[in-house]
Amino acid sequence: MDYLIRKVSIVDPGGKHHGKVVDVWVKDGIIREIGREIRRTGKTRSLQAPNSMLSGGWIDIGCVGGEPGLEHRETLRSLALSGAAGGFTGLCMFPNTRPAIQSKSEVNFIRSKSVDLPIHILPIGAVSKGCIGQELAEILQMREAGAIAFSDGMAPIQNSGLMMRALEYLKLVPGGLLINQSLDHSLAGKGQVHEGPVSTLLGLLGIPLLAETTFIHRDLALLRYTASRLLVHKLSGEESVAILRAAKKQLSGLFASVSIFNLVADASRLENLDANYKLSPPLRDASDRKALVRGVAEGTIDCIVSDHTPWDPESKDLEFQSAAFGSLSLQTCFRAYCTHLLDELGIDRWVEMQVHNTRSMLHLPVQHVEEGCAAELSWFVTGTHSLFTDGELHSLSRNCPYPGSSLRGKVLGVFSKGKFTPDGISEKLA
């Protein structure tokens, strides 16, 4: 089927149609024509919405799934539908499944099981077997099978020797990328929230920013030694941004990300002990949040990640001290950005990070909205406000902090794999 998106504003920084209001004709998964008042007849489906925008398809790095082994939290299908509803056409999924994505067999399983899903699921291979940081996994074989990058995901690498060997191995892979959250478990201990006024007020053990910055220094030292490629995942503090700002002037293979949660909220959100805001890294001080926003604006931080982490009620609906770290966010990431940051950072910055920067980091072709290009596209509006409800969630889990909140912006649909998925719900999969 072919589609004609009418009177849509193109958001494609660096592209020749950026900022223009045009019609876009998509047929067989390819952008066939861009112009004003395109006329098509027959089976062409016309799509139009007031003040809508169109960009290359967004990619999220480091979301957590469940399949295989943890399907009660999330299946590949529910993950894909959540991602499409959030405007993403590609999801780089962490390897924290059972078994972990630690060999070519698991990579092949993810790729084959996701063929018929509406968007791309891109498996991230484990650095260590079982993601437990002891024995190096089959990195080269996983890459040959289609692993997009490598990480132990929710388990930050504590073994410096293993991390160094992984960085060395990835030099043998064109565009090889290691993704690691810099977190020293021995310093974080049994901390529950950011170490500061809120942890004192709540009487909870704190996680000092030192637990992050100490390992950032370690990881940068390993990167310098190996001359490899590293994404320092989910910066959370002002000092972390300063360290990366200085290091990126010397290290071409260094990249940084930030969780949408740390970008839009601070530790004050925890004063009512809402476990949905119990996150890793934790929400920190207001000054840290502002520094992260500056890091995004200036380019020290390369991409914003959803930090999507589904948990079953037995893991999350507990007293705060016992609840797991993490929350759902694929469907709310863009809307949270629009609500809290759009006026300050603009929509161009969002697209630069989620389209151009992510693809460059992953050595994927940069997606432009131009004739002849593949129709991997996100269609959205930024100005409207609406109530987000629990009934909108496609995840099998429910640990989301936003139901009942008025959020700005809306995803109208995505074009991916030659199909259009409206409002995140595939007509053929629904």
Mean pLDDT of the chain: 96
- How far is 310 from 42, CA to CA, in rounded Å? 43
* DSSP symbol at 357: I
Which of 63, 140, 156 lies closest to 102 in space, CA to CA? 140
State residue 326 phi and psi, 5-degree precision: 125, 155
Q: Give tens-digit pLDDT for 326-355.
A: 999 999 999 999 999 999 999 999 999 999
- How far is 142 from 360, CA to CA, in rounded Å? 20
Question: Which one-letter amino acid corresponds to residue 53?
Answer: M
* Residue 43 confidence class, pLDDT cut points 50, 70, 90: confident
State the pLDDT at residue 379: 98
Contact residues for 290 (Cβ-Cβ < 8 A; gap 6+): 238
Exposed, middle or buried: residue 319 (CB in 10 Å: 0-12, 13-18, 19+)?
exposed
* Residue 96 confidence class, pLDDT cut points 50, 70, 90: very high
Least confident span in 39-48, 112-121, 229-238, 399-408: 39-48
* Across 238-259, average pLDDT: 98
Q: Work out the percent of the chain whose per-residue pLDDT is above 70.
A: 98
DSSP 270-335: GGG--GGG--SSPP--HHHHHHHHHHHHHTSS-EEE--B----HHHHSS-GGGSPS-B--TTTHHH
State the pLDDT at residue 102: 98
State the pLDDT at residue 42: 77
* Across 293-315, average pLDDT: 98
- How far is 359 from 339, CA to CA, in rounded Å? 25
pTM equals: 0.96
Least confident span in 119-128, 212-221, 418-427: 418-427
* Across 211-233, average pLDDT: 98
- How far is 183 from 196, CA to CA, in rounded Å? 18
DSSP 101-136: S-SHHHHHHHHHHTTTSSSEEEEEEPSBGGGSSSSB
* Across 276-296, average pLDDT: 98
CA Rg value for the chain: 21
* DSSP symbol at 2: E
State residue 5 phi and psi, 5-degree precision: -90, 120
Which of 427, 428, 426, 368 lies closest to 119 in space, CA to CA? 426
Q: Are 425 and 85 in contact (CB under 8 A)?
A: yes
Q: Give tens-digit pLDDT for 55-88.
A: 999 999 999 999 999 999 999 999 999 999 999 9
Q: Give the residue carrying structure tokens 């006329």.
A: 39
Contact residues for 383 (Cβ-Cβ < 8 A; gap 6+): 51, 408, 409
State the pLDDT at residue 40: 80
Look at residue 412 and give its three-state secondary structure: strand
- How far is 156 from 131, CA to CA, in rounded Å? 9
Res. 426: pLDDT tops 60 = no
Res. 367: pLDDT tops 90 = no
* Across 21-32, average pLDDT: 96
Measured from the Cβ of residue 38, the count of other Cβ atoms closer than 10 Å reads: 16
Question: Which one-letter amino acid corresponds to residue 147?
Answer: A
Look at residue 385 and give its three-state secondary structure: strand
- How far is 250 from 224, CA to CA, in rounded Å? 9
Record the tokens describing residue 225, joined without a space: 């030694």
Q: Where are the alpha helices (DSSP H) in 227-326?
A: 238-247, 260-264, 286-298, 313-316
- Is it true that domain 2-54+371-385+406-422 has CATH number 3.10.20.30? no
Q: Are 335 and 306 in contact (CB under 8 A)?
A: no
In angstroms, the Cα distances linking 103 to 137, 179, 256 are: 7, 17, 26
Domain boundaries, the chain: 2-54+371-385+406-422, 57-361
Tally: H helices and E strands in the chain: 14, 18
Active site residue 307: yes
Q: Report cis status (omega within 30 of 0) of the bond before 99.
A: yes
Res. 430: pLDDT tops 50 = no
So what's the architecture of 57-361 in CATH? Alpha-Beta Barrel (3.20)
Which candidate in 307, 312, 317, 348 is catalytic? Answer: 307
Could you tell me the sign of the dihedral formed by the alpha carbons of 325, 130, 59, 240, in that order?
Answer: positive
Res. 1: pLDDT tops 80 = no
